[in-house]
Chain A
């Protein structure tokens, strides 16, 4: 799956879970840039992404991302290896 496609699908998941149609994600986006993305909703987003792409992140990965780009890298990795 291409990165742009993954990013756009992740953006849709964010919109749904944060209940906010205005969310725009880029590779550089970080948690403070998005309204409602806190440590608690983060876990909801992670579980939403896992379900959508039918993958599982490790506990370490969930804590490791510095921005959306790194998260998308992990997703792409997982899909390719599964």
Chain B
């Protein structure tokens, strides 16, 4: 990780061409260094953070005065940093009988701040939680008595999590866990505090900045979707080809505990929706055997979405995994114990993340924890099902080979789609798909749950969601279209995005004919679409052309009365 001085040197580099994010920082201590660290760390992740920083201790004035600079600046992300030091300062000034109410009073204030900001601005709020300070008035007894400062501080951190769990646009940046990792002596430096009113040490700034930028990246749709595992000495100890299945180290054998715990971690990631793939230099039957038969294996064969074990080179195998899953290399993490393999992969596939695993497998987990690779800003129940979606996709690809024509194959699938507007049940998944889709995304407009809720109530918008299931399984909700009334005859396609899991099934034809049938009845005649190119969505450059839209003044227009819908093999699910 870069030092603060190194991050500061980034500030002299050329930020043009990077994605611009307007950010506001509100702090109750001095935040100039934090500002610089964020700006510098943002550069390394491809962001040009345009930061407006309130003078310190101005939080309430900036938030509760509707004419303040904050509202004038119109940021898309607001960081609120109220320090544990100032919290202790407040506590110190209370009368003893008021100590008990500190956490609840503070959370009320934070709720007010949050609701004021979000009523005025369309923003995400990032709140830094409180680092622990024990004022040692009670010793261990602080844990037994509600009015101790430590009790109130921990209660407040818990209340913050409650608030975050109920509000989709309120996020916590967990700086308390950073203090846990580096220790309070490294987190806070009293001489810096006394001289500058800053509560973050110079050394901890890069970590705080990294953790914040991880969150912002995820908000911008940059996050990991897949972990690719090597097997020998990563998933288990030993070389299965030499040692045989019964001698690999997992469970109680040798240093097996390290590998078992690693596997539990991977299993939890899989349950959270991270796709697990295997890429190993082994014969396939030998490599699969432990997943099928070894009693101590935590990971089983149905946890793995793509399993590749052969003697080809790993770069080609990773390319094959990427092609099968249809996700970007930048959303993949490759774990391999061999520095040689890691370097070849890095050289050939620069976008993929390849952690420099420590030599001792016992250190793998702590090291991987510290990288915070799997930041996310959404979670929906579909995540738990994701591995299954990709496994059935492999089955479909095998089935496809048995048919003479693609049409015959599509007919055989018995595809059905459930079409619904936005509602409170599909909202989390819509928000998530909006963030996850990069390739099949016409205008790359991202919708938060709050915006989705607004859209669902709006008179000027029409919303459509589509699921797709077939005889192999249910893909869940995979496509969203949002239409805006432009005038009495014309509907503008505010966005159209789709999961790449369902490419080449004729889904786009089904979507178009569904929209056309529905909107014709409401008296509309034209659909107007736009393609906004990004680094990732070249896939849909010809989307509207292929669907029969005509180019007109930078937009694409489709006459709904032309009756040119293409044949498709998807039926409505009732």
A→B interface (CB under 8 Å) = 16-17, 19, 39-40, 42-44, 46-48, 56-59, 62-63
Contact = CB atoms under 8 A, between A and B. Distances in A.
A58 B5 CA distance: 22
B32 to A, nearest CB: 6
21 contacts: A17-B5, A19-B9, A19-B12, A40-B32, A40-B33, A42-B195, A43-B196, A43-B202, A44-B4, A44-B5, A46-B191, A46-B195, A47-B189, A47-B192, A47-B203, A56-B191, A59-B191, A59-B194, A62-B191, A62-B195, A63-B195
B222 interface: no
A48 B8 CA distance: 14
Given A59-B194, A63-B195, A19 B8 contact: yes
Interface of B: 4-5, 8-9, 12, 32-33, 189-192, 194-196, 198, 201-203
Given A43-B196, A62-B195, 15 more contacts: A16-B5, A19-B8, A39-B196, A40-B33, A40-B196, A43-B198, A46-B191, A47-B189, A47-B192, A47-B202, A47-B203, A57-B191, A58-B191, A59-B194, A59-B195
Given A40-B32, A47-B202, A59 B190 contact: yes
B205 to A, nearest CB: 10
Most A CB contacts (10 A, CB to CB) among B9, B12, B192, B195 go to: B195
B492 to A, nearest CB: 48
Contacts of A44: 4-5, 33, 202
A19 B195 CA distance: 23
A43 B8 contact: no
Contacts of A47: 189, 192, 201-203
Contacts of A43: 192, 195-196, 198, 202
Nearest to A56: B191
Contacts of B32: 40
A67 B268 CA distance: 58
Contacts of B12: 19
Most B CB contacts (10 A, CB to CB) among A47, A48, A56 go to: A47
Nearest to A47: B202
Nearest to A58: B191
A39 B203 CA distance: 18
A69 to B, nearest CB: 20
A19 B196 CA distance: 21
A46 B8 CA distance: 16
B429 to A, nearest CB: 46
B392 to A, nearest CB: 55
A48 B33 contact: no
Contacts of B201: 47
B204 to A, nearest CB: 11
A60 to B, nearest CB: 9
B5 A48 contact: yes
Contacts of A16: 5
Nearest to A46: B191
The 6 closest A-B pairs by CB, nearest first: A59-B194, A59-B191, A47-B202, A43-B196, A62-B195, A17-B5
B20 to A, nearest CB: 25
A71 B198 CA distance: 22
A3 B574 CA distance: 86
A63 B190 CA distance: 13
A17 B569 CA distance: 65
Contacts of A42: 195
Nearest to A61: B191
A17 B8 CA distance: 9
A16 B9 CA distance: 10
A62 B189 CA distance: 13
Contacts of B191: 46, 56-59, 62
Nearest to B33: A40
Nearest to A40: B32
A44 to B, nearest CB: 6
A57 B196 CA distance: 15
Nearest to B8: A19
B16 to A, nearest CB: 20
A47 B32 CA distance: 16
B148 to A, nearest CB: 28
Contacts of B198: 43
Contacts of B5: 16-17, 44, 48
Nearest to A42: B195
B314 to A, nearest CB: 40
B4 to A, nearest CB: 7
Contacts of A48: 5
Contacts of A59: 190-191, 194-195
A68 B325 CA distance: 61
A57 B195 CA distance: 12
A16 B201 CA distance: 19
A51 to B, nearest CB: 8
A25 B192 CA distance: 23
Contacts of A58: 191
Nearest to B198: A43
A62 B8 CA distance: 22
B127 to A, nearest CB: 25
A57 B190 CA distance: 11
Contacts of A46: 191, 195
A21 to B, nearest CB: 13
Most B CB contacts (10 A, CB to CB) among A17, A59, A63 go to: A59
Contacts of A62: 191, 194-195
Nearest to A57: B191
Contacts of B8: 19
B237 to A, nearest CB: 39
A48 B12 CA distance: 20
B397 to A, nearest CB: 54
A62 to B, nearest CB: 5
B249 to A, nearest CB: 41
B25 to A, nearest CB: 15
B38 to A, nearest CB: 15
A56 B198 CA distance: 18
